[in-house]
A and B are shown apart, each in its own frame.
Chain A
Amino acid sequence: GAGVSQTPSNKVTEKGKYVELRCDPISGHTALYWYRQSLGQGPEFLIYFQGTGAADDSGLPNDRFFAVRPEGSVSTLKIQRTERGDSAVYLCASSSQYNEQFFGPGTRLTVL
């Protein structure tokens, strides 16, 4: 079956702009995660959804970052007033009740 998909694959924006990154999880997976991976680093946790609600958003770096999952499937990560330091690959993962996390290919965000 289809894996986790993320769109766009690349996003270039200017400092101060607003961006939305989309994640389509594996069908039937109730848990969804967002991670951020900077160059040469391991992924860092941002937020975790169980169903429609954010069960843990402790990794969001500040209030410019927000994520939603209104119908318990697709999720959107929203970044306001982007800064150059936000440049990274944003990874989405999903899991079933057995908790193995399957990652998407990521969205490479570049803030100029």
Chain B
Amino acid sequence: QQQVKQSPQSLIVQKGGISIINCAYENTAFDYFPWYQQFPGKGPALLIAIRPDVSEKKEGRFTISFNKSAKQFSLHIMDSQPGDSATYFCAARGGSNYKLTFGKGTLLTVNP
């Protein structure tokens, strides 16, 4: 059972455009939703995270939108840059269970 579903699998955006990646979860016990960025040959790096008591969180060009009733959350990258080209993973964690459940990832390519 895939508890966190991520789409699209891949995404191509022009420089300066907006990249949008979506995730949906099933487990209502999840209460922490981070996004990770991974470059080839590197480990995932925490980008931004949100808890369900807010509907949006913004850090620089990165914004998470969260819809608790729909059990969906999304990452928006404004003014996308070639250096943003990487694989992005959404994840979720719930309550006293500290393990992260990841989506399958989105390969983002930003063309110059």
Contacts and interface: CB of A to CB of B under 8 A. Distances in A.
A and B: interacting chains: yes
Interface of A: 4, 31, 33, 35, 40-45, 48, 55-56, 59, 91, 93, 95, 99-106
12 contacts: A4-B43, A40-B104, A40-B105, A42-B103, A42-B104, A55-B98, A56-B98, A56-B99, A91-B43, A99-B98, A103-B43, A103-B45
Binding site secondary structure of chain B? strand
Interface of B: 4, 6, 32, 34, 36, 41-46, 49, 89, 91, 93, 97-105
Contacts of A59: 99
A56 B97 contact: yes
A101 B46 contact: yes
A104 B43 CA distance: 5
A100 B46 contact: yes
B102 A42 contact: yes
| A-B pairs with lowest CB-CB distance, top 7 | A42-B102, A103-B43, A45-B99, A105-B43, A103-B44, A42-B89, A43-B102
A35 B101 CA distance: 10
Given A56-B98, A91-B44, 15 more contacts: A31-B98, A33-B99, A41-B105, A42-B4, A42-B89, A42-B104, A43-B102, A44-B102, A48-B99, A91-B43, A99-B32, A100-B34, A102-B46, A103-B43, A104-B43
